[in-house]
């Protein structure tokens, strides 16, 4: 009977250590965040990667963002200090 309790205690201890090790391995270290996309991409509503733009913010709250759109084009998004939003695309001329 004594051997049964010793074996049961040993198995219980091993199970507890295994659970603790699995729980520790599953969590990221403090200060780290999980990142599923590269740092220069964000996700849209359908979880598709969208390239982030270069955003410039002014002291009055206005901002301008330039997002690359492929072969020589840039999408420009602007918000004025009076909260007016504008968006347009600028493409480089392909002539010689």
Return the pLDDT at 42: 75
The answer to whether the beta carbons of residues 51 and 67 sit under 8 Å apart is: yes
Is 51 part of any domain?
yes
Return the pLDDT at 80: 94
Is 96 part of any domain?
no
Q: How many domains does the chain have?
A: 1
pLDDT along the chain (96 residues), means of 10: 66 63 58 62 80 88 89 90 94 69
Enclosing domain of residue 79: 2-29+38-91
Return the pLDDT at 72: 84
Q: What is the distance between the alpha carbons of residues 15 and 21, in angstroms, rounded to a whole number?
A: 10
């Amino acid at each position: 009977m004594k051997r049964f309790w010793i074996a049961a205690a040993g198995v219980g201890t091993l199970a507890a250590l295994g659970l603790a090790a699995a729980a520790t391995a599953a969590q990221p270290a403090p200060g780290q965040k999980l990142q599923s996309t590269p740092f220069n991409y964000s996700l849209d509503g359908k979880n598709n990667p969208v390239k982030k733009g270069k955003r410039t913010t002014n002291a009055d709250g206005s901002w301008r963002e330039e997002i690359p759109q492929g072969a020589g084009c840039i999408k420009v998004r602007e918000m004025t200090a009076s909260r007016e939003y504008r968006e347009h695309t600028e493409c480089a001329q392909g002539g010689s």
